[in-house]
Structures are given as C-alpha cells and as structure tokens.
Structure 1
Amino acid sequence: MGAAADITIDTARAAEGRPLLALEGVSKRFGKLQALSEISLDFKAGEVHCLLGENGAGKSTLCNLIFGSHAPDTGLMRFQGREWSPSGPAEALQSGIAMVHQHFSVVPRMSVVENLMLGQARGRLRHREQAALIRAMTAKFGLDVNPDAIVGELSVGERQRVEIVKCLMREPRLLVLDEPTAVLPPEEIGALLDIVRRVADDGRAVILVTHKLAEIAKVADRVSVLRGGKLVTSLPMQGTQMGDLVRAMVGREVTSLESALASSLAGIARAEKQGDGPHKYALVCDGITVRDAGGAVRLDNFTLEIAPGEVVGLAGVEGNGQTELGRVLAGLSPPTSGRFFIGEAEMTHASAAQITAQGAGIVPEDRHAVACVTGMSLAENIFLNKLGQFTRFGLLNRTALTEAAKGLMQDYDVRAAGPEIAFGSLSGGNQQKAVLGRELTLDPLVFLLAAQPTRGLDIGAVEAVYRQIRLAASRGVGVLLISSELDELIAASDRILVLYRGKVVGEKPARPDQREAIGALMSGHA
C-alpha cells in the first residue's frame, strides 16, 4: 500500500460506524503460554477504545499482533475491510497503523527534529522545513514540543509527546498507545489524555492500553477487558460503572485501590522500630547534596534516618530530586557532598555491588536501564546477583537455576511460560515483580529502596507488591518508598516526607486525613 496520500481519513466509513479494524477468533501462543485465546473485537474511527486488564492479560500481545510485531497463530484480522496480515511493523506504518510502545525509542543525543525524521527523510535533512512541519503538527494537537530541543534533556512527559508526534507525522488511520501514561508524573497525564481525545476527534481510531481507571473514565468511548488472554467484556464507557470494570479485570470484588491495600496490609504485623535487630538504623542519610553538570542543585542537604521495620514514603512530583537520591543510594553516582550508611557501614563511595553485599535491596525507577538484562532468561535475571551459587568450575547448572527460579516465581506471582523465557518477553508488571522478588530475597537484607515500584502495574499487582514490601518491613527491613502515587504512599508507609525542588519541605504521618496537607507540600505550599 502507498504513502500518506492513500491513508486519508474515510469520514463516510467513520460516520457509518463500520470497524476500521476487526479481529475474528485471534489466538497467540508463546511456548507453553497461551497469550491470547479466540479474541473477536473491532475498533472504529473517531473512537478511543481502551484495553484494560491485569499485567500479563494479553494487552501488549494484542497490540503487537495489530502492529505486525507478531503474527497470530489462528484467526483473522481485517483492516479497512481487507484481510490484514502484516509482514512487520514497517508494513503497518506504511499502511496507516502507528504504535507508541511502553519504552521510548528516541535517541537521547539527537534533537527532536532529527529523531522525528529518522527513517522518513530522504537525502539531505531540510532542518528548517521539517521543523516547520513539526510545529504545525504539534499546534494542531496541542503537543507543545520544541523541534530544536535535545531529547535527552527533555522531561519524561516531553519525551512521550515526541514519541506521539513521531507516529502522527505518518498520518496514521489507527494509533496504538501501549501504556503511554505509565512513565508520566500526575500533572502530565491529563495533558496527554487531552491529546488522545483530539487525535480521535480528528477522525482516527485510537487504541489506548492503560491500568488507570481514572484515565478510562476521562477519555474512553469503549472499553474492552482482557483476563488470562481471553476477552471478558467489551462495552461502551457511557453508563458503565468502574466497579464492574475492576471486577471483570481481576475476577473479584474490589471497591478501590485504597480499600484493597488496606485489606491486604491489615493482617501484617508492624515491627518494633527501635532495637529490633542488629542495627539501630537501616539507613542514615547525612546532608546528601547533588549538583548536576551545570552546577544546579538537584538534591539539597537531604537528611533522613530509617529504623529497622519502618517504611518511609518519599512524596513529590517527579523531577524534584527523587531520581538523584535513588542513584546515590544505589551506588550509580556519588553525591556532591554528604554521606549515607546502610546499617552502621558508610557506603557513600561504595560500588553498586558493595552496596548489595552490605544488605541493600534496590528496586530502581527504570528497571530496563539498570535492574535487568532483557536478553537473558527470567531465571538468570531473578538470580542475577547470585549466579555464583549455581556455577561450578565455570559452568552454570541450569537445572538447579530453573528449579530455584520456579519457587521464586510462585512466591512473587511472576506469571510466565517458564523460567527459561527471555526476560524482555514478560509484561511490565511481571518484570517488576521478578525484580522485587530478587531484591527482597537478598541475605542479609537490611534496607530496601523501592523507587516507583508500581509504575505501570494493574490494581492486583499493586496490591501484591505492597504486601511483599510490608512483609519485608515486618521482618525488620527498613524501607524507603519513593512514589508519585500519593494514595499508595499513604496506604503502605508509616510516615511521609515531601521533596520539593530538591529539599525536604515537610513530614506528615501516613494517614488519609493528611492527604490534602501532603498534596499542598508537593505543590510547594508550606
């Protein structure tokens, strides 16, 4: 099929309400895992169609079939009335289907205009002409992207907008967004949903994969729920109750995330905060300050003590020093000044391996960059810091490794076809649970840093993650929980500190009646 001229919006078809894309009995299996089973579903132009489901329910697999990254084993797909069996993503793009994946595909060192023209510009890049086209596109959809900015210097939300502009430059009929808000701070989610609405109102079909019910309520025209690779329900959003969607997604009654967490954590005993174990403190931060390459202060005199068995939440809009603190505590970058201790041992200039050996479990905010090796197996990633236990004379005992991995998968509800599959093939939620399981089974475990541990997770997985964190605390592990999800911090923490522009601006008890006060501190209002 040809270029953009062949991909004009068929308003007559949209007006008649005919499906732009239809799936009939589509199934897909990966080894022992039945990822999708007999899915029949359609998507219409001018409509935002939300896909909802637990991690591993098959949502990303469905999107990848549509985009040509995988081919269905059985069933039929039709796009614009014709049979659709793309040979790969290149054919999908040429035919009018574009996809924004969970993880960014932009090149950090290049400018926005250079990234957007990769694979599209022929011959010499006409920078000024292309920048003008990008400005026109961003103005049309309210995307607010500077064509001359270096991508690596943009915020997470700005980079997400670049990904969307990159797709829209191709004038697609169908735009697939796989968890586009999972990496966004709360204040940027609303802006992105407004863009999604504008794209659909322009006559295009939008498939939006998300776990967040508030987003669905705001933007969806239709919602389809997957569970265990099967289509549970598909219905118009208007008149649909959120409780019905949650019940369809998890297969049980859940009134809200807050009540689910409260119920799940209620039976876990709280450890005595002082003198409960060999250490007086699990973590001590003494005046940690971080300056960036330009000399700007990113973290200012951060001081904190966490007792064994205590969960301290760190709240704040992203970009206020949390990332810098996490990198320091993980041993990925040294502080400009100040020091920190794990137990009684100073670890200020220690390596990541030394920090792990001292008993610090690290769940970083960017699991793909620093927490796993996606090309290695699930079993190898689960025991990434313990592979020596399964090695003899330089050879890895894969049988023992696989058996041990099966036990941890069961304990932490990591759902996959088996321990031997590639880590990169797991859903985001199952990757996160595997990383959490690896870090929580360190021996000894004195301190746990959990940075954005539930980003991109469904309500059931969120509940499971915080239950494991609180169980660790009940055993005397001190926890620093960094999250932009205030309701989760209140439910899972003992007390909450607030970071604003790199400084601690207040501390509050983790209680629902403190939500407004904590929110005010996050906004810079003392």
Structure 2
Amino acid sequence: MTHRVTHHGTPAVELHGITKRFPGVVANKDIELTVDRGTVHAIVGENGAGKSTLMKILYGVQQPDEGTITVDGTVRTLRTPSDAIAAGIGMVFQHFQLADNLTVLENVVLGAEKLHGIGDAARRRIREISTSYGLGVEPDALVADLGVGARQRIEILKVLYRGAKIVILDEPTAVLVPQEVDELFGNLRELKAEGLTVVFISHKLDEVLKVADAITVIRRGSTVAEVDPKGVTPRDLAELMVGSELPSPSTDESTVTDTPLLTIEGTSLADPAGGRALLDGIDLVIHAGEVVGIAGVEGNGQAELVEVIMGMREPSSGRILLGDVDTSDWQVREIREAGIGYIPEDRHRHALLLEAPLWENVILGHQTDRANLTGPGGLLIDAAAAKQETREIVEQFDVRTPSIDVTSGSLSGGNQQKLIIGREMRRNPRVLVAAHPTRGVDVGAQSAIWDHIKQARREGLGVLLISADLEELVGLSDTIRVILRGRLSGDFDPDVVTREQLGAAMTGATGATGATAAGGPTGTDHTGAAGTPTDGGSR
C-alpha cells in the first residue's frame, strides 16, 4: 500500500517516539503520529492496541515514559488535563464524565466557572456553540433525563466551551444510529471548516474511510502505517490492524422454535414526572433459539424496557412472563437466579467493579449461585472456585490480560466486554438481554462476541438484542422491531429490510412500512400520521 499522506505546514500535533509501560505490559512503543491542522485524523487498531492510552497521553491523563509531544510547533509537557486544555486540546471519552443530577449548563461550566460565570452569559455561550455546530443542546435540561446520543453532544460542547482547537473523540459513533452518525460527521466537517483539528479513535472502518483525511493504524502498541483513505479499502485497513479479514455478523439458518421463553404483554411504564409514558403497551415474545433485535434512536424507551425486564423498575401495567411464570414484581436477584443473563449498556456503571480483580468481577451479579458459595450453610464466597472459573472464561472468551488478579479497570474496553459476556454465558441462561454487546470493541472481539451469541442461539437461548449498530441487528436477528417514543413497531424481516427503512421508522419519518419490508400486507404504515408507530402489520 503506497498511499502515504503528505504533510504541509506546521502540524497541529506531532508525537515522536512515545513509549508507555504499565506493570506486565507495554501499552505504547515508539509511536509516531503527525496530525495536520484543520483535518480529521483517525486512529484505528484492535482493542488493547494502545489507542486509548495514546490519547490519554495527548490529553495529559498519563505521562509517557519516553518521547515528545509537539503542539503547533512547540514541545509541550502535559502533566494534567488542565495543561492539555491550556494547550488547546480537549477530549471526549468513550465513557462520558457527566453528573446525572446536574443540568447541562451545570455540567458544562463545572470547573470552568471563570470563563463565562454560571448564569446567563454561560447559557448564551452554550446556545451559541450548540447552534454553530448543530449540537441541539438545551442548557437547562437535566442530564439524567437524556439519552446517550445527547450526552455525547454535551461532552463535545463542554470541550469547545473550554476553547479547544484540537478535539480528541474516543469511539464517537459507538452510541449513534446512522442518521446521527451523518449529523456528527456534518458537525466534524463544520469544526474542520472553522480551523479546528479532530483526532478520533474508531473501530468502524467504513466510517473512518468516509470522514477521515488521514488514518494512522496502531498494532500491539506501535504505529504500523499512516494511510490516505482515498487509496484503501476497509479490508486493507482490517489486515493492517489485525492481520486478518473483516468478519461479518451473518446469522446461520433459523433455529427459532415455538417455545416462548420471555413474553411481554401490554406492558407500560408511566413517567414519574407526569410526561408521556416511557413504555406504551409493549407486546413482545422471544422464543427459544430466537434473536429479537430492537432498533431505535437512544432515549426512546430501550433502557426502560431492559430495566422492566430485569426487575429494576416495576411496570405500571401489563405483565412479563419467563416461561409461564409472571416475574413482573420480582426483584433483580430473583430474575437473575431464574436464568436471565444481562449485558448492560454501560459496562462501567452497571457491569464491573473497576477497582476489583477480574475473579471478583466474575462473581458479580451471581453471588447467590451455589457454585460461588462455600463454608457452613453456604454463606461464604468460594474464591478458589471463582478464580478457576475466571481462568476458564479468560481462555474460552479470549480475554487478553496479564493475569486474573489485575483490576478489571486495567483491561481495554473490548476485553472488559468479553469478560462480561463470558460471565453471563457460562451460567447457561435461558434468556439473554444484551444491550449494545459490541459497543466500542474492535473487529476481532466483535466477531468473537457474535459467534458466542450465535452458538448460544443454536443451543436454544432466547436473546433480546438492543443495538445502535444496524449491521449487527440485521446480521444477528431473526426479527427486528423498532422502538419509538416507548412504542414498538411491527416486525421487520432482517433478510429484506434496508437501513433506510429502519432509519425512517427509528426517526418517525412517515411511510416507514415495516410490514411491507417483512413481506406482510403491503402499504401498512407503521408510523401513523404523527409518526408514532402502530402495531399494524405484525406477522
């Protein structure tokens, strides 16, 4: 591949010979990176390749053991994020750093009160930035009420508010649906047009090729290539990243049976604040051997649906059956013990104790399993058994770690995710509720996770798959439903539905005829006049 990038003028950022060691692992080794001003520069590589560490070094969160950082032609020592911000560098992390109990305005000004105060001047500035870059951010909204997509836009705004000229985005599209990705890319072009420089980490190679002006590939901690996106294919990039071809999620022949495992009947959830119902008359059946995919823009009821199934919230009406047992008023622990596996949307908030070793994390959520208990009356955790199980999960699910005694927070995102999936799948659940199971993981780990889900489906597992990745939904699901404003559409057939049809149903654009796509009665309009889905056209 000879498509090298030619650099002109003083680069916005130059990293030279960057090396960073952690106990038992070299995260970065002799990294070379040149980012031109006013460009979008992508960094791709497998999970654990060292991308996030490199960005944390550029943002002053970690210091390199060797090497230099040059910003706008000046060598800088970035000891803290404050140093990076002073140098005009801002970072949006994959796991957002927002306080749920504060408003957007309070989150944005926190720590930057000196810039525009905390009142009307700050509110005006937030609205200005929001309008300039089309971020659609409302200063007085409470962050707890916002979906993941909106939270990401607040994080971008927070960085711009502090005057960043170089913006680092870690996996910015992991949480977005295609229409939102297009909007984000539009925003990135606007940033670029204003002379800002964007550095972003991604695993989605087709997106990288669409938006980047230059791409740096990292493999096992070292930069292996810098390429011009005009001259390469996703396959070329995948081979540079992992030395193998790009996998696809395609599902094998149908394994759907007529045994219902999870039945949701007429289930609604009222809004405690008195607004529109969060869930409105949900009817859904998942059979043994079936993957039911739920598509939707963040914040349309996906999270609430999961919380109701898992016992975190009690529905206002309707019922939920596991087999033929009503679990609507059960506690989370009882539901877990009855055989529902759970992969949460946010692994840091709901799936892992980041400061605890891997083997303690393997027991998490399964503390009452007999296999994990020992001693008189079975009241003590059996550490030896947990450690043995962790070794088996690490091997079976290819969790890349120096040992089972390191903290889960020291693993890369994809390896954390494989640990969670191993923990849930090893229990042989009857039903798996999987929220964004491959969010923020690379092509290799993604392929492995898809394989585990497909294997379990063949063995009769029922899966509820909630994902913002339409390729994943179409590739893995036997049936797809769209959730919009707390209501479910009829069935879409993944074999014939297009991304555009799903996108239209997800945004409430009229004329999204799911039933037609599913080979049902033609002309059934799934959106009604106001763009709210009806239940018409279910097969």
TM-score by length of 1: 0.88
Contact 1:291 1:299 in 2 (8 A): yes
Change (3 A) 1:494 1:199: same
RMSD between superposed Cα atoms in Å: 2.6
Contact 2:88 2:163 in 1 (8 A): yes
Deviation at 1:295, TM superposition (A): 4.5
Pick aligned residue for 1:261 from 249, 260, 266: 249
Pick aligned residue for 1:89 from 81, 86, 95: 81
Mapped partners of 2:142, 2:191: distance in 1 = 25
Change (3 A) 1:281 1:41: same
Amino acid at match of 1:298: L
Mapped partners of 2:398, 2:446: distance in 1 = 12
Deviation at 1:409, TM superposition (A): 1.3
Q: Write out per-residue CA displacement over residues 214-236 of structure 1, whole angstroms, 9 at most, x where no aligned residue.
A: 43233211101112222221122
Mapped partners of 2:150, 2:297: distance in 1 = 15
Q: Write out per-residue CA displacement over residues 394-450 of structure 1, whole angstroms, 9 at most, x where no aligned residue.
A: 77665553343122012112222322222223222222221111111115x211111
User: Is the aligned partner of 1:161 residue 2:176?
Assistant: no
Within-5 A mapping of 1:55-74: 55-74=47-66
Deviation at 1:521, TM superposition (A): 4.0
Amino acid at match of 1:456: G
Contact 2:362 2:386 in 1 (8 A): no
Contact 2:340 2:431 in 1 (8 A): yes
Instruction: Extract unaligned runs of 5+ from structure 1.
Output: 1-14, 275-279
Change (3 A) 1:173 1:392: farther
Q: Mean Cα displacement is larger for which, 287-296 or 332-341?
A: 287-296
Q: Name the residue aligned to 1:345.
A: 325
User: Is the aligned partner of 1:326 residue 2:270?
Assistant: no
Contact 2:175 2:468 in 1 (8 A): no
User: Is the aligned partner of 1:406 residue 2:386?
Assistant: no
Change (3 A) 1:378 1:237: same
Q: Mean Cα displacement is larger for which, 124-133 or 318-327?
A: 124-133
Q: Write out per-residue CA displacement over residues 60-81 of structure 1, whole angstroms, 9 at most, x where no aligned residue.
A: 0110111111122233333333
Amino acid at match of 1:183: V
Q: Mean Cα displacement is larger for which, 448-457 or 316-325?
A: 316-325
Deviation at 1:348, TM superposition (A): 0.8
Within-5 A mapping of 1:206-221: 206-221=198-213
Amino acid at match of 1:58: G
Mapped partners of 2:301, 2:476: distance in 1 = 21
Q: Name the residue aligned to 2:281.
A: 301
Mapped partners of 1:141, 1:124: distance in 2 = 19
Q: Name the residue aligned to 2:434.
A: 450
Q: Name the residue aligned to 2:426.
A: 441
Contact 1:186 1:317 in 2 (8 A): no
Change (3 A) 1:329 1:312: same
Amino acid at match of 1:363: I
Contact 2:342 2:433 in 1 (8 A): yes
- Give the 3-state SS of the residue equivalent to 1:19 in structure 2: coil
Mapped partners of 1:454, 1:123: distance in 2 = 39
Q: Mean Cα displacement is larger for which, 211-220 or 349-358?
A: 211-220
TM-score by length of 2: 0.86
Q: Write out per-residue CA displacement over residues 239-270 of structure 1, whole angstroms, 9 at most, x where no aligned residue.
A: 3333211221231123xx5xx223xx54xx75
Mapped partners of 2:106, 2:478: distance in 1 = 47
Contact 2:71 2:87 in 1 (8 A): no
Within-5 A mapping of 1:101-250: 101-122=93-114, 125-250=117-242
- Give the 3-state SS of the residue equivalent to 2:230 in structure 1: coil
How much identity, in percent, do the aligned residues show?
39
Contact 2:44 2:201 in 1 (8 A): yes
Contact 2:45 2:51 in 1 (8 A): yes
User: Is the aligned partner of 1:355 residue 2:335?
Assistant: yes
Change (3 A) 1:113 1:303: closer
- Give the 3-state SS of the residue equivalent to 1:193 in structure 2: helix
Contact 1:111 1:150 in 2 (8 A): yes
Deviation at 1:486, TM superposition (A): 2.5
Q: Write out per-residue CA displacement over residues 30-82 of structure 1, whole angstroms, 9 at most, x where no aligned residue.
A: 22222222211122211211011122221101101111111222333333334
Mapped partners of 1:125, 1:440: distance in 2 = 50
Contact 2:43 2:199 in 1 (8 A): yes
Within-5 A mapping of 1:262-301: 262=250, 265-266=251-252, 271=255, 273-274=257-258, 280-293=259-272, 294-301=274-281
Mapped partners of 2:96, 2:118: distance in 1 = 25
Instruction: Extract unaligned runs of 5+ from structure 2.
Output: 1-6, 513-524, 526-539
Change (3 A) 1:117 1:518: closer
